[in-house]
Chain A
């Protein structure tokens, strides 16, 4: 198979997987619908209950899961190239820790449940800024390794804060916070989908525009500099954009691990060497994976739901082990 025909096959497979995951996500649930019923209900025809389930519950949930999965995977793909590190992902770089601190403080402070996403987003953004500040204070230039270590340090600091806050918080708010930290797209609304899509579109556009710079950054600092890239500025920009994209996913769905780490690896070898292709392929694969994971989360032990983050981790580990065999 030539690279070009292999590439075409990849896009067909990814698009089919997304379609299949979306249809399954729409059709399967406590009320099982046929594909024909899904089609009619989406168009507002047929059984009134089916239309309501489809339009108000399942469709926004599937769309939000898809968007969150796509955003996490794109963020991870961009960060791995920028940091020149296959283990880089938004959660390793402080975003998840910051978001968790924000959410836990919001919960423990007695805020209503609806404020948690705001707290999470604020925490994630604060963590990103803190990582940048630490990397810069580290002296010299903030090279990828310094940024990575700063992310790990901020994560550890966040964990300490969370433990302290939870230790002194009332039991039910602890449970709320924990539940939120495990990730979920339950109760997704079109409003949520709307703001997330708008915000995500902005970040993704910037990410795709700077993708060629990420190609060059992945060669290493000296090579990138010799190709006309301002290594420090380009690296910082890619980090900030990718992290802010991940921060939005945290606000929308809590902490959903592994997607940002595993999905880019799944597509990287097959989507070609250019990050525009890798990021786009990661988006499709990430969307499919998270829609499917959410389907598992809400049907496996229906009517109760499993945490989405646990499902992605359980699905991600074997995938990742399989990928590891490909490393030499």
Chain B
């Protein structure tokens, strides 16, 4: 569905590229996770997909078409993105906010497109945000706002969903329910790409993990392939052990305290 092919991004006046020759696939029906330390180029990949930064080399393909030359509205009909941060300039009612997900489908003059009502209703159902519909965007908690943003992205009716750190500021229950939601969406045939710092959640939910280190892919494959103590320790530059979660069998990461006299 989405394919990053040898992507190189360099910010103006930067000595080294932020993303340096990254290639991976995001197939439909799966969750693909990008992990890596701060500044490893995760969000830059998302910005590159959106056309917010230009590629120095390589190509990002969406359904085989070059994302850079694809019409922006067409791109938005294929790929929905929940960016890292978002604050509307003026608070708006939640239903109106979710309906903005229909923007790529709307025509110039008509207030709404034919599929709007069903798409919005379904997005509200899937993201489980019905109970927030009588509130405004500035009357939601962090977790509620995140769900409402996912609902807006779902209203786009795209076959790919990209989320940049969707669980920041969320407590355990909201974190889990967000990933459960992604899991359900993937099983329904969406291609999910999630940027996350929550390695233990990623290990349990993702089908494929791409580990970035200084803009390049340090490891990729199944969670068990990538979540190896030696690899992670080197990338994160922090002592850690990887065990196996006894309850679910997924790899589990435990960062260690630094020994005082070490």
Binding site for B on A (CB under 8 A): 3, 80-81, 84-86, 139-140, 209, 212, 215-216, 218-223, 225-231, 268, 272-274
B192 in the interface, Cβ–Cβ < 8 Å? no
Interface size bracket, B side: 35 or more
Question: In whole Å, how far is B96's beta carbon from the nearest beta carbon of chain A?
Answer: 4
Given contacts A209-B108, A225-B50, contact A81 B89 (CB under 8 A): yes
A220 to B51, Cβ gap below 8 A? no
B89 to A218, Cβ gap below 8 A? yes
B96 to A228, Cβ gap below 8 A? no
Question: In whole Å, how far is A279's beta carbon from the nearest beta carbon of chain B?
Answer: 13
A274 to B96, Cβ gap below 8 A? yes
Proximity bits, B76-115, A CB within 8 Å = 1, else 0: 1100111111111110110011001101101011000000
Q: Which of B80, B86, B100 has the most CB of A within 10 A?
A: B100
B249 in the interface, Cβ–Cβ < 8 Å? no
Proximity bits, B10-21, A CB within 8 Å = 1, else 0: 001000000000
Given contacts A218-B88, A272-B96, contact A226 B106 (CB under 8 A): no
* Chain A positions within 8 Å of B146 at CB level: none
* Chain A positions within 8 Å of B92 at CB level: 273
B96 to A223, Cβ gap below 8 A? no
B7 in the interface, Cβ–Cβ < 8 Å? no
* Chain A positions within 8 Å of B81 at CB level: 222, 225-226
Given contacts A212-B103, A272-B96, contact A225 B89 (CB under 8 A): no
A228 to B90, Cβ gap below 8 A? no
A228 to B77, Cβ gap below 8 A? yes
* Assembly CA distance A226 to B155 (angstroms): 13
Given A218-B90, A226-B80, 20 extra CB contacts under 8 A: A139-B12, A218-B88, A219-B88, A219-B100, A220-B83, A220-B88, A222-B50, A222-B81, A222-B84, A225-B51, A225-B72, A225-B81, A226-B50, A227-B101, A228-B72, A228-B76, A228-B104, A229-B72, A229-B103, A273-B92
B52 to A222, Cβ gap below 8 A? yes
In chain A, what residue has the closest Cβ to B136? A273
Question: In whole Å, how far is A73's beta carbon from the nearest beta carbon of chain B?
Answer: 16
* Chain B positions within 8 Å of A215 at CB level: 100, 103
* Chain B positions within 8 Å of A212 at CB level: 103, 106
* Assembly CA distance A227 to B73 (angstroms): 7
* Assembly CA distance A219 to B83 (angstroms): 11
Question: In whole Å, how far is B167's beta carbon from the nearest beta carbon of chain A?
Answer: 18
A222 to B156, Cβ gap below 8 A? no
* Chain B positions within 8 Å of A86 at CB level: 89-90
In chain B, what residue has the closest Cβ to A219? B88
Question: In whole Å, how far is A237's beta carbon from the nearest beta carbon of chain B?
Answer: 14
Question: In whole Å, how far is B16's beta carbon from the nearest beta carbon of chain A?
Answer: 19
* Chain B positions within 8 Å of A219 at CB level: 86, 88-89, 100
Question: In whole Å, how far is B179's beta carbon from the nearest beta carbon of chain A?
Answer: 21
Picked from B73, B76, B83, the residue with its CB within 8 Å of the CB of A222 is: B83
In chain A, what residue has the closest Cβ to B91? A273
* Chain B positions within 8 Å of A229 at CB level: 72, 103
In chain A, what residue has the closest Cβ to B82? A226
B86 to A223, Cβ gap below 8 A? yes
* Chain B positions within 8 Å of A231 at CB level: 52
Listed by A's residue number, 23 A-B pairs whose Cβ atoms lie within 8 Å are A3-B93, A85-B89, A209-B109, A212-B103, A218-B90, A219-B89, A220-B88, A220-B89, A222-B47, A222-B52, A222-B81, A223-B86, A225-B50, A225-B51, A226-B83, A226-B153, A227-B100, A227-B101, A228-B72, A231-B52, A268-B90, A272-B96, A273-B93
Proximity bits, B42-85, A CB within 8 Å = 1, else 0: 00000100111000000000000000000011111100111111
Picked from A84, A85, A225, A268, the residue with its CB within 8 Å of the CB of B52 is: A225
* Assembly CA distance A85 to B88 (angstroms): 10
* Assembly CA distance A39 to B207 (angstroms): 76
In chain B, what residue has the closest Cβ to A275? B90
- Which residues in chain B, 117-134, are within 8 Å of chain A measured between CB atoms? none
* Chain B positions within 8 Å of A268 at CB level: 90
Question: In whole Å, how far is A327's beta carbon from the nearest beta carbon of chain B?
Answer: 11
* Chain B positions within 8 Å of A3 at CB level: 93
* Assembly CA distance A229 to B108 (angstroms): 13
Question: In whole Å, how far is B177's beta carbon from the nearest beta carbon of chain A?
Answer: 22
Question: In whole Å, how far is B246's beta carbon from the nearest beta carbon of chain A?
Answer: 40
* Chain A positions within 8 Å of B89 at CB level: 80-81, 84-86, 218-220
B12 to A140, Cβ gap below 8 A? yes
Given contacts A3-B93, A140-B12, A222-B52, contact A227 B156 (CB under 8 A): yes
* Chain A positions within 8 Å of B77 at CB level: 228
* Assembly CA distance A140 to B11 (angstroms): 10
* Chain A positions within 8 Å of B104 at CB level: 227-228
Picked from B83, B96, B109, the residue with its CB within 8 Å of the CB of A273 is: B96
* Assembly CA distance A86 to B91 (angstroms): 12
Given contacts A212-B103, A227-B101, contact A81 B90 (CB under 8 A): yes
In chain B, what residue has the closest Cβ to A274? B96
B100 to A220, Cβ gap below 8 A? no
Question: In whole Å, how far is B117's beta carbon from the nearest beta carbon of chain A?
Answer: 16
* Chain B positions within 8 Å of A85 at CB level: 89
In chain B, what residue has the closest Cβ to A225? B50
